Amino acid sequence: MGIGIDLGGTTIKGGIVNNQGKILLERLIKTQSHRGYSELLNDLLTLIKELLLYAPDEQLIGIGIPGILSGDGAIVVSCPNLRWKNVTLKKDLEARLTQEVNLVNDATAAGIAEAAFGSTLGKTSSMMITLGTGVGGGLILNGRIISGSHGVATEVGHMLMEKNFYSCGCGKNGCLETFASATALIRYCKMRMELGVESSLTTEEMLDGKIIIDAAKAGDPLALEAVNRLAKYLGWAIANISDIVDPEIYTIGGGLSYAGNFLLEKIRMETLKRLTYPQNAVPEIVLAMFRNEAGMIGAANLKRFI
């Protein structure tokens, strides 16, 4: 058992997770980041204490954070969604609780959920890739999460691929997530339509990743071009990651993974084209099992993957 918190930009979700990865009890509160760090810390403590009422003997508390932690995992160095910079979250929570609190990047938490109970169960090395507004990653090698000496490992969304027509929010040009996220799909389709390319998509409506993927499945040439482009860059990135750490399996999660096998088959094909040893060293690539609950389940199980 463990308590897992998923600290999102709009909602803070907390759950009591059993040893089979099932959420026994879940509580949500709105994230009111405009109220500042100390108020948000109070909200977080209230939520944890509420969960502890139902699991008073629980000693494991893990928190998934959509941001960058320090190398030792104690400090939230940067979390734009919460407007946090260098906050001593671990220390501040532990000062007011009797339990140990551990922090983890949210994509890594999702990777833990998959490794502990989901699509990568039983593998000692696995890489989670989350495709959403951006591209996130979580890497487990020899059964341990890889957080990096400066806490910035598996920032795979910022691997530089090649020049792109728009720059990344991080300030660089060419980041993977400007080619392989929902944002990338939308930007690419809009750019092509502005150049006069015809499509069943219109620039009028609020485009999102799901609309583009559905249009691609329905045969719209531009949407299909955009999805194929995404798969190409993701396959390229996966091949390069395999050249560095050679995980046994990749699992694809995040909002765009709803595209299912339609997208998965494309990613597999594009990866295979670029692997250095396609004859004898081909990683499995699968879809993640958990969705919105991944962060809580992973955070609750963090301790045994540290």
Residues that bind a copy of itself (CB under 8 A): 68, 77, 123-125, 137, 139, 141-142, 144, 146-156, 158-160, 162, 170, 172, 175, 236, 239-248, 274, 276-277, 280-283
Q: Least separation, in Å, of the C-beta of 271 and a copy of itself?
A: 11
- Residue 157 or 298 with smaller CB distance to a copy of itself: 157
Q: Are 115 and 139 in contact (CB under 8 A)?
A: no
Q: Least separation, in Å, of the C-beta of 152 and a copy of itself?
A: 4
SS3 189: helix
Residue 171, C-beta contacts closer than 8 angstroms, at least 6 positions apart: none
- Residue 20 or 86 with smaller CB distance to a copy of itself: 86
- Residue 39 or 72 with smaller CB distance to a copy of itself: 72
Q: Least separation, in Å, of the C-beta of 40 and a copy of itself?
A: 22
Q: Least separation, in Å, of the C-beta of 231 and a copy of itself?
A: 15
- Taking residue 72's Cβ as centre, other Cβ atoms within 10 Å add up to 11
SS3 40: helix
Q: Are 250 and 126 in contact (CB under 8 A)?
A: yes
Phi-psi region of 83 (alpha: psi -120 to 50; beta: other; left: phi over 0): left
**Residue given tokens 């495709």 in the structure block:** 131
- Residue 177 or 293 with smaller CB distance to a copy of itself: 177
**Residue given tokens 């995980």 in the structure block:** 247
- Residue 43 or 248 with smaller CB distance to a copy of itself: 248
Q: Least separation, in Å, of the C-beta of 302 and a copy of itself?
A: 16
